[in-house]
Structure 1
Amino acid sequence: MVNTKYARVLDHPESSIRWDQESPLTMTVETREGEIETRYGRFVGGPADGVEVVEIDTGVMRVVVLPTRGMSIWKIESKGIRFGFDSPIAGPIHPSLVPIDDPSGLGFLEGFDELVVRCGLESNGAPEHDEHGNLVYPVHGRIANLPADALSIEYDEASGRLELIGEVMEARWFAKRLRLKSRLRVRAGSYRVYLLDDVTNELSKPATMQLLYHINIGSPVLDDGAVLEAPIEELAPRDELSAGEIDEWNQFGAPQDNYVERVYFTKLCVDDSNETTTMVRSGDGSCGLAVTHNVNHLPYFILWKNTAAKSDGYVVGMEPATNFPNKRSFETEQDRLVTIEPGETKSFRLSLLPLINEQAVNKTSERIKSLSETFEATVHRQPKAGWSDMS
């Protein structure tokens, strides 16, 4: 008989998880750098019923991964600080209950609940309809609502490295067969989480793809006075509403009733390895979340501001991407789609670093300043032609 127990997860008292102590994904790994513990389970009851969950404890942080939801990261917790956001849908939601093909194209929003959500792979932007009003591409694509299989864990005792591996297939007869192989890498005693994603075109003809990492931060990191620090090379608002806040584009206020989202498109300064770093830090500078990514395959960065009432989803999104999240046809016209030849694999790399004290925040701030200290940013006060389909 499988030895299981029920447990609450982080700060989500309405959902229970049945942890499977005999799963091969449940283990304690002794390394030279310390212990790493993992455990596998499934949510029980409600709209989360059946969603797989893997929790990884590095000794200094816990990472909660949802393989059923495209290998998303649901939440990270460290030193009593929760990294994630309070979605009004109170998920996680099983993909079978998310109406991706809703005629509005907005069905994705009925399952949107995680710290890290992948948007893609065929499309990652605004919904698009044909001339007859039929949905062609739903908002943010399908990959976040497809379940992973081939789950496994690899580890190395000498270095303290552990990887959770899963594969997600996005396929349609005659149209596409894109395989995402995701590796989530951590190290014992470390706060950093690496996402190492490889996308392979398994059809006999070339394919095009898009990928965007929707990294969503709410309270307590997001609060009145919080800011995004980023080494800006070029910046433009998506639309006229966003243009109205261009002077405060990276500053966040307290929750505000009836706030309508603002979006800003950017290109960032990089170091000699073509890497760049951004950070959302709290108003008092005591905590934050940093994201480092390589611009070779993720050349753009988007900020999504949604500082609405807490009950409506008080959150901002940091979004490294292959393109800007306009309609796919517009991005095709601007030559921002990624082409993958038959059998070819494209790699995408980024990392998240929870910042749990003022010292860590200041160190990251210095890193960001060093990337842009000799560069004068170009700031467009109105939507830029060729960047936004609302320009």
Structure 2
Amino acid sequence: MSQDSSLQSPPDIAALRRFYPDLAGYGDIRLVTLGDGAERGVRVLEIRSGGGLELEVIVDRGFDLGRLALNGITVSWHCQNGYRAPWLLNPFSDKGQGFLRANNGFLSTCGFDHIRQPETDALDDRSSFPNEAFDYPLHGSGAHQPARLISYGFEEDADIPYFWCEGEIVQTMQFHGSLRLRRRLEVPIGGQQISMRDRVVNSGPTVMSHMMLYHFNIGHPLVAEATEIDVCNGRQIWGQGDPLSAFPAPQSEQHNSLSVFAMDSEAENGLCTISNPHNGLQLELEFERQSLPFLQLLRMTGQGTYGIGIEPCTTGQRSRSDARTASEMVFLKPGDHRTYNFNIRLNATQPGRSGTVS
């Protein structure tokens, strides 16, 4: 998937330099280290496009995405976990629910060998592993692992100049196997969109099951009463209630509901949009259907836990055995790889009202 530059024209760099002797005054990418509480020591890349988009890349938490904002208005979902350092996290704690002690921000990457609820399952290749089965925590033990920062910078010579960064995360265990994810992010200067490209490789000596779920989290004020959800080319295959109904105001009782959509097999890409008709904020998430043929939708409507999760994934089944039965479990032999590509676009049709609380 190529970068979509249709939303606005890129700025003239030569013209910008007439006003900005250092382009950092307009847009920038910089590496910072957080210094307090459970976030202490966590590296974050801060990106400002110059076109109103601001993005945090949490290097030491899976190269995940933290705060996402447009024109100073945060659209990502955040809770009290903060950007918890991965060395404080045990994914197997709390009966396998340790993921919930770190989930926070715009994207938590789930996998790389398991998604959804904790399970114990037979191994795909136990030639060396001492046990017949393996324990998988909620959303896999690859989630929230520290990344190796490969590089970052600004590409000025491209047709559309852009800020970029690359990182690598390895999920590995001796005698069990190894999966390596390499991620590249690009943000065009002056733009309001993000492209993300992932490549997952089996870098170990054994066959590995491979499952991915991308947990994109959207919050207020994009999510508010009457916010509209559109899974543009998906068909609901299971779920609770009407997942595409207009969003309610925060409810006094905590309530979360899950639904899963199968993306149209004739479509090249999946597309989901979240739109607030009152303040004009809109987010579009586009992804390749061939590698991510399903989308899970999470609605959180309780006071204090209020937001929407858009979750493209490799299987629509709830369990590992069901995924195998439905031929939706991916197996990677040593050296095999899979790629996942995304375009994320933000828009404010009424920018003067984008900060209005609905």
TM range (shorter): 0.7 to 0.9
Q: Which runs of 5+ in 2 are unaligned?
A: 1-11, 17-22, 123-132, 352-358
**Distance (whole Å) between structure 2 residues aligned to residue 290 and residue 233 of structure 1:** 14
Are 2:286 and 1:292 aligned?
A: yes
Correspondence list, 1:129-278, <5 A: 129=120, 136-159=135-158, 160-238=161-239, 242=240, 245-246=241-242, 249-269=244-264, 274-278=268-272
Q: Cα–Cα, structure 1 residues 319 and 250, in superposed 2: closer, same or farther, change >3 Å?
A: farther
Q: Cα–Cα, structure 1 residues 142 and 130, in superposed 2: closer, same or farther, change >3 Å?
A: closer
Correspondence list, 1:312-327, <5 A: 313-324=305-316, 326-327=318-319
Q: Cα–Cα, structure 1 residues 75 and 270, in superposed 2: closer, same or farther, change >3 Å?
A: farther
Cα shift at 1:155: 4.0
**Distance (whole Å) between structure 2 residues aligned to residue 308 and residue 316 of structure 1:** 11
Greater mean deviation of Cα atoms: 297-306 or 261-270: 261-270
Are 2:60 and 1:75 aligned?
A: no
Cα shift at 1:252: 1.1
Partner of 1:47: 38
Partner of 1:335: 327
Among 319, 330, 345, the alignment partner of 2:337 is 345
Among 322, 344, 349, the alignment partner of 1:357 is 349
Kindly indicate whether the alpha-carbon contact (under 8 Å) linking 2:230 and 2:244 is maintained by their aligned counterparts in 1: no
Q: Cα–Cα, structure 1 residues 80 and 156, in superposed 2: closer, same or farther, change >3 Å?
A: closer
Q: Cα–Cα, structure 1 residues 168 and 299, in superposed 2: closer, same or farther, change >3 Å?
A: same
Q: Cα–Cα, structure 1 residues 221 and 342, in superposed 2: closer, same or farther, change >3 Å?
A: same
Kindly indicate whether the alpha-carbon contact (under 8 Å) linking 1:32 and 1:158 is maintained by their aligned counterparts in 2: no
- Matching residue's letter, 2:349: N
Identity %: 23
**What is the total number of aligned residue pairs between the two structures?**
318
Kindly indicate whether the alpha-carbon contact (under 8 Å) linking 1:63 and 1:77 is maintained by their aligned counterparts in 2: yes
Among 57, 71, 83, the alignment partner of 1:92 is 83
CA offsets 1:199-242 (integer angstroms, 9 cap, x no match):
0111233322111110001100000011111224421333xxx1
Q: Which runs of 5+ in 1 are unaligned?
A: 1-29, 360-391
Query: What is the DSSP-based 3-state SS (H/G/I as helix, E as strand, rest coil) of the residue aligned with 1:352?
Result: strand
Query: What is the DSSP-based 3-state SS (H/G/I as helix, E as strand, rest coil) of the residue aligned with 1:332?
Result: helix
Cα shift at 1:271: 7.2
Kindly indicate whether the alpha-carbon contact (under 8 Å) linking 1:229 and 1:250 is maintained by their aligned counterparts in 2: no
**Distance (whole Å) between structure 1 residues aligned to residue 191 and residue 261 of structure 2:** 30
Query: What is the DSSP-based 3-state SS (H/G/I as helix, E as strand, rest coil) of the residue aligned with 1:145?
Result: coil
Query: What is the DSSP-based 3-state SS (H/G/I as helix, E as strand, rest coil) of the residue aligned with 1:44?
Result: coil
Kindly indicate whether the alpha-carbon contact (under 8 Å) linking 1:104 and 1:135 is maintained by their aligned counterparts in 2: no
Q: Cα–Cα, structure 1 residues 357 and 195, in superposed 2: closer, same or farther, change >3 Å?
A: same
Q: Cα–Cα, structure 1 residues 143 and 84, in superposed 2: closer, same or farther, change >3 Å?
A: same
**Distance (whole Å) between structure 2 residues aligned to residue 33 and residue 236 of structure 1:** 52
Kindly indicate whether the alpha-carbon contact (under 8 Å) linking 1:302 and 1:318 is maintained by their aligned counterparts in 2: yes
Partner of 2:114: 123
CA offsets 1:174-199 (integer angstroms, 9 cap, x no match):
11211100001111111111110000
**Distance (whole Å) between structure 2 residues aligned to residue 76 and residue 342 of structure 1:** 36
Q: Cα–Cα, structure 1 residues 222 and 172, in superposed 2: closer, same or farther, change >3 Å?
A: same
In the superposition, the TM-score normalised over structure 1's length comes to 0.76
CA offsets 1:74-96 (integer angstroms, 9 cap, x no match):
01112122121131x24011112
**Distance (whole Å) between structure 1 residues aligned to residue 228 and residue 315 of structure 2:** 24
Cα shift at 1:59: 0.4
CA RMSD between the two structures: 2.3
Among 298, 308, 328, the alignment partner of 1:304 is 298
In the superposition, the TM-score normalised over structure 2's length comes to 0.83
Partner of 1:377: none
Cα shift at 1:283: 4.1
- Matching residue's letter, 1:189: G
Q: Cα–Cα, structure 1 residues 250 and 196, in superposed 2: closer, same or farther, change >3 Å?
A: farther
Kindly indicate whether the alpha-carbon contact (under 8 Å) linking 2:59 and 2:149 is maintained by their aligned counterparts in 1: no
CA offsets 1:50-94 (integer angstroms, 9 cap, x no match):
11111011102111110110011001112122121131x240111
Partner of 1:38: 29
